[in-house]
Structure 1
Amino acid sequence: MALHNQTGRKGEEIATRFLMDKGYKILHTNWFYGKAEVDIIAAYDRYIVFAEVKTRSSTDFGQPEEFVSVSKQKRLQWAAEGYIYQHSYNGEIRFDIISVLFDSKGAFTLRHIEDAFWG
């Protein structure tokens, strides 16, 4: 596995643990709808949360959360619609971004942006 893929997987594991520690119930990780992937789908309070995890090892090109493009947001929204249809879900949804930034020593900072965007 390429280093950037390993970094991404590690970030997703950290983000999943973070959400669980905050009381989120993890429903799915790496869930696909067609070619669209949702990193984490979780239940929290009255929401189903669709979370995109962005992990980086430097800010040379910007903060991790800045890499959630408009096209990525649209793919996530499309996948969420599929999830809602497949599970006959009628409640509220939310799109979150979890940013994980590693430093050169392997320590990380995590930023959870709730309700980061909406279609």
Structure 2
Amino acid sequence: MADHNDFGKIAEDMAAHYLQKKGCKILARNFRFQKAEIDIIAEKDHLIIIVEVKARSTDAFMLPQEAVTKTKIKSIVSAANHYLEEFNKDNEVRFDIISVLPDENKTLIIDHITNAFEAFDAN
């Protein structure tokens, strides 16, 4: 089995490929601002999609989206704001989580949660 970082990279590649198949254009990967990092920034129909990729090599006790803490959300939001300013974009923004989990046959399954941060109380 690949080590954690390799698995994370595989998961990000899968997520990027999945988004492209859905008609998204990948604008950036691993966009860094201060301590924050955005895994994927994509665009579709003038909507900027900020994607946090969560990978689990085992069926852990916690859902991948539960691993995104309020602190992490805040840092992703600030990095997203910085990206929009830097590239002078005034598009609407959506925050998604794509989780990559193996099923019982070790096949990697993608779960795409759109508007993920709205499900959280990000205050």
Give distance in 2, aligned partners of 1:90 and 1:56.
Answer: 34
Name the counterpart of 2:77.
77
Instruction: Extract unaligned runs of 5+ from structure 1.
Output: none
Give distance in 2, aligned partners of 1:68 and 1:9.
Answer: 18
My pick for the range that moved more, 100-109 or 58-67, is: 100-109
TM-score using structure 2 length: 0.88
Report sequence identity in percent.
42
Name the counterpart of 2:8.
8
Query: What is the DSSP-based 3-state SS (H/G/I as helix, E as strand, rest coil) of the residue aligned with 2:14?
Result: helix
Count of paired positions: 118
Q: Is the 8 A contact 2:53 2:99 kept in 1?
A: yes
Instruction: Extract unaligned runs of 5+ from structure 2.
Output: none
Deviation at 1:88, TM superposition (A): 1.2
Deviation at 1:105, TM superposition (A): 4.9
Query: What is the DSSP-based 3-state SS (H/G/I as helix, E as strand, rest coil) of the residue aligned with 1:117?
Result: helix
Deviation at 1:78, TM superposition (A): 0.5
Amino acid paired to 2:51: A
Cα deviations by residue, 1:31-77 (Å, 9 ceiling, x for unpaired): 11122110000001121111000000223321222111111110100
Name the counterpart of 2:46.
46
Amino acid paired to 1:31: F
Give distance in 2, aligned partners of 1:24 and 1:92.
Answer: 15
TM-score using structure 1 length: 0.91
Query: What is the DSSP-based 3-state SS (H/G/I as helix, E as strand, rest coil) of the residue aligned with 1:88?
Result: coil
Q: How big is the alpha-carbon RMSD for the aligned residues of Structure 1 and Structure 2?
A: 1.5
Name the counterpart of 2:58.
58
Amino acid paired to 2:31: W
